[in-house]
Amino acid sequence: MLRWYPRGAVNDNDNIAMTETNSPSAAGLGADVRDFGAAGDGERDDTAAVQRAIDSVAESGGVVHLPPGRYRVRALRVPAGVSLEGVYSFTSLRSGSWLFCVDTEAPALSLSSGTSVRSLGFYYPEQRWDAERSAPVAYPPTVFVEEGARRVLLRDVFFANVYEAVDADRHHEYLILQNVLGYAVHRGITVDFSTDIDRWTTVHFNMNSMWAVEHADADSFAAWTRRHGTAFTIRRADWLVMFDCFCWGYRTGLRLETSPAGHGAPGGIHVVCCGFDACGVCIDMRDGWGVRVSDTFFVSFNHFAAGTDTDDAAVMVHGGGEFGLKNCRWWGCDRSAALLNCSQSVVEGNGFMDYGRRAEHGDGTYAALLLGRGVHQVSNNQFSGVRHHHLPGDSGDRPVPGARGLVVLEKAEGAVITGNVFTALQGGGLSVEGDADRVALQANLHRRAPAVGAGPSDVVLP
């Protein structure tokens, strides 16, 4: 039986060959946890009763029903072909089906192949602010996807105050997340060694979800998350798609990095119609290839302590292969919008505006887009210093002090910059550090901004 191991621990199953787990051919049976003695009152330990209900359908597969209630549980394991299903009504802890999780040594749920969790909420009644450690209680992951698991579904699931929501950092395939909402204090989703097409649709982590549980330590949790939390972590993954995913108030919104277990880097990642709000850094890409981000919004500022714990740009690409930004928007960013260091990038149809909130002098401190290592194609973007998100004391739309449009850094190998519009930028539309012959400029428009760096075919308007 595969078990959860803390990160860094030796897993005796690491060398076991994984084989396909077939779904049962016969129609699955159903079970109701109340019939097995579950109280659902949030006080009595229902672990044995719920596990008996799960085990009762383990051989043939089936659905285990959890009627509205609060089921206090320790570690549960869901074997292949079994689904847990409650009632989705998360206006408060007083309605819907909830698992009250109390195990400090193991995940609340361990899921095997062909399993699903539907219409359930997770809450940690003993989670508290540890004043001695100045941190929340570091519980194990709430949902653990076992090594070798395939076809795992979470649908209509709410995480109220979990430390880490979903741990899928062992080998797995087809992790499907649909309408997964709530607040994870430290980590939302962690994925590694995904060898086939995970799909995440409407996965939202927002510390404002704490209103649903009225937790006494909510403010302390939120401030800690803002300095230490990561909503989404993707390591080795093949063709993973995030659609309508969102986070608010995390130190890091989406982290893309090499697998610490040596499985490789993320590849073929599509981030579509997502939002990263009030994050220290919205996307932090350390490694990866074939990463495409489109129709996504970025806001990078510290909601709790202005000007602190915020990176140099909302989107930080530190390495990796090709990276693309298309039809995205930025607003209210403390510093720059994007800094790209990768083998090649494509930046097309974006709106760079309302950035550089921390600029205090008109010295061109912050530029919307900085092109670092690699070869870059930048076309049909709007660069504007007009502020749309007003700070206290703002009288209206105005240029951001020191705002610049685009800077080609000296370490960039080359760039093609065409068809962009630069408007109301006190620091100028674009500039090139070092050898200007590395950069091709064509048909850009400069309006209400110094024509700094304009090419011979660019248009300059008053």
> Would residue 419 count as lying in a domain?
no
What is the C-alpha separation between 431 and 406, in angstroms, rounded?
A: 7
Residue 109 lies in a domain: yes
Position 376 in a domain = no
Q: How far is CA 391 from CA 110, 121, 170, 323, 334, in A?
A: 46, 37, 45, 32, 11
Q: Give the dihedral of Cα atoms 142, 146, 152, 155; nearest 10 deg.
A: 0
* Domain housing 298: 30-343
Does the residue 50 lie in any domain?
Answer: yes
Q: Give CA 155 to chain center in angstroms.
A: 17
CB 4 within 8 A of CB 107: yes
**Mean pLDDT score across all residues of the chain:** 88
Q: Nearest CA to 302 among 275, 333, 331, 336?
A: 333
**DSSP 8-state secondary structure symbol assigned to residue 224:** H
**Are the C-beta atoms of residues 108 and 73 closer than 8 Å to each other?**
yes
Answer whether residue 11 shows pLDDT above 60: no
The phi, psi pair for 56, rounded to 5°, reads -65, -25
In a domain, 450, yes or no: no
pLDDT in tens, 64-111: 999 999 999 999 999 999 999 999 987 788 899 999 999 999 999 999
175-222 pLDDT, tens per residue? 999 999 999 999 999 999 999 999 999 999 998 776 666 778 888 888
CA distance 354 to 341: 23
Backbone angles phi, psi at 219, to 5 degrees: -65, -40
Q: What share of the chain is helix, strand, coil (3-state, %, to 5)?
A: 5, 45, 50
- The answer to which of 14-28, 42-56, 112-126, 146-160 has the lowest mean pLDDT is 14-28
Count the domains in the chain. 1
Neighbouring residues of 353: CB distance < 8 A, sequence distance ≥ 6: 329, 330, 331, 368, 382, 383, 384, 385, 386, 388
Residue 356 near residue 333 (C-beta atoms within 8 A): yes
pLDDT score for 29: 73
What is the domain-level CATH number for residue 165? 2.160.20.10
- Pair of tokens at residue 174: 């087809």
Q: What's the confidence (pLDDT) of residue 253?
A: 97
**DSSP H/E element including 222:** helix 218-228
List of residues 6+ apart from 180 with CB closer than 8 A: 154, 155, 157, 158, 159, 165, 166, 200, 202, 203, 204
Q: Is residue 396 part of a domain?
A: no
What is the token pair recorded at 84?
């847990």
Q: Confirm whether 378 is domain-assigned.
A: no
Q: Average pLDDT of 13-42?
A: 62
Handedness of CA 107, 44, 78, 97 (dihedral sign): negative
Whether 366 is in a domain gets the answer no
